[in-house]
Amino acid sequence: MQIPRLDGFFSSHSDANAFVSIQTEPATIFVEDLRGRQGLSFDFIIDNRGAEDLDLSFMKAAAYDAEGHLLAYRYANRNAVGPSGIDTLGASCIPGGETVDVYNPFHEWPADLLIARLRYTFTFAQRESRREIYVGDVQVNPKRYEQRVDLHLPMRGLLTVMDAHDYLSHHRRFAMSLVRHVTGGTFAVNFSRFGFDFSVLGEDGNLARMDAEEVSANRDFHFTDIRRSYTHGAPVFAPAAGVVVEAADDLEDMVDRPFDTDLAIKEGRIHDIAGNRVIIRHNAREYSHLFHFRQASLAVSEGESIEAGQYLGEIGFSGTATVYAHLHYQLMDGPDFMHAQALPVQFSDVTLVRGAERIGLARIVPETGDFLLA
């Protein structure tokens, strides 16, 4: 039987005068082992060097094995009644002379596909003339990250993952071309590409202590006082042994006013978006970053060697903790979260709660909306 190729559908042709350049973000792309799927968290930065606006009208992806055989394909175009698949990408118009971020919609593939290479093709239409411009050969060679450190959840009790790093998560949707521009390159990477926001659930199943009237009126985490959250003041524990390379708890908890990101950029203290924080070196290439501790709550100091499960401090509302109290966690290959590479994460010995069911898992990548016992 003939091996499927679809050469016409995935032509490698690129217009010689395309005046469009496309780069992946980040440059190193990791495969993440999800439940029954493999995740590929990366996006595209598209630079329109022409004067005329471009509309992205067709985007295709092809997955190949090590021998070059086509395994599967995906595509998005404007064939829809109402908003099309293209309109989910974050930006589908690239203004003349500008650079935009386009979020990769083909971010998950079946777990049993042995993907060695991915190829992406883009078709643009000039806004005025409607002339099509074709960029047909953006190559991606993902690699599987082998985590060395054995990590455990840094909190105890019944937790929920308010935000992981799926396609719709705020951790994923960093427009890095814009961020680099407004911070003068200080903010060089999306540190939270594989990040998690963990919150505590009370015995009543809620995020905060609320009376009946508050429960009925609470649609969008509109807590009257963030300090009534079950997460506020919750203890945090070291996810693994290591050495504390940074410990900061002098920033105020933003319980009465939001963090002023523009002012932080202007004053050269963009690192304060993390709030009070602990960064732990586990080995030469793996560092745990834990953000949004309560002011003056840390029980560890810089240079201290710590054990797995050791008490670190309390969760507060420092930095850009947004609208709900949480502990932000991420793993990186260095201590400077503005420049280090974000790494995929798996946690050990976690119980996944599904209604009345309790599922013990040796390893898990938590996902948005999960309930976990630790």
Instruction: Give residue 156's identity as a one-letter amino acid code.
Output: R
Q: By mean pLDDT, which of 44-53, 80-89, 293-302, 356-365 is the weakest?
A: 80-89
pLDDT tens digits, 307-364: 999 999 999 999 999 888 999 999 999 999 999 999 999 999 999 999 999 999 999 9
- The strand pairing partners of 124, in sequence order, are 56, 133
pTM higher than the cut 0.85:
yes
Write down the pLDDT at residue 62.
Answer: 96
- The token pair at 171 is 């951790």
Spatial separation of the C-alpha atoms in residues 92 and 66, rounded to whole Å: 32
Torsion sign across C-alpha atoms 191, 336, 344, 71: positive
pLDDT at 2 over 90: no
Q: d(Cα 188, Cα 340) in Å, to the nearest integer?
A: 9
CA distance 228 to 166: 28
**How many helices (H) does the chain have, and how many strands (E)?**
3, 25
Tokens of 261: 């990101």
Task: Give residue 87's pLDDT.
Answer: 81
Please spell the DSSP secondary structure of 300-358, one letter per residue: --TT-EE-TT-EEEEB--BSS-TTS--EEEEEESSS-TTTSPEE---EEEEEEEETTEE
30: left (phi over 0), alpha (psi -120 to 50) or beta: beta
Query: Coil, helix or strand for 39?
Result: strand
What pLDDT, in 10s, does the model give residues 183-225? 988 899 999 999 999 999 999 888 998 888 777 777 777 677 8
For residue 172, what pLDDT is reported?
Answer: 93
Q: Check residue 79 and give its pLDDT.
A: 84
The length of the chain is 374
Positive or negative torsion for Cα 294, 295, 299, 303 = positive
CA triplet 166, 168, 173: central angle to 5 degrees?
A: 95
What value does the mean pLDDT of the chain take?
A: 93
Average pLDDT on 64-89 reads: 88
Distance, CA of 200 to CA of 371 (rounded, Å): 10
Checking 64-69 for CB contacts under 8 A at 24+ apart, the result is 64/115, 64/116, 64/117, 64/118, 64/119, 65/114, 65/115, 65/116, 66/114, 66/116, 68/117, 69/3
> What confidence tier does 81 reach under pLDDT thresholds 50, 70, 90?
confident
pLDDT of residue 193: 97
Tell me the pLDDT tens digit for each residue of 229-261: 999 999 999 999 999 999 999 999 999 888 998
Q: What integer pLDDT is reported at residue 11 of this predicted model?
A: 84
Taken in order of first residue, the domains within the chain and their CATH numbers are 20-144 (2.60.40.10), 158-373 (2.70.70.10)
Q: What is the mean pLDDT of residues 124-143?
A: 90
Compute the CA torsion angle 232, 374, 341, 338 (nearest 10 deg).
10
Quick: pLDDT tens for 23-53. 999 999 999 999 999 999 999 999 999 999 9
Please name the amino acid found at residue 364.
I
A 10 A CB-CB count for 233 gives 14
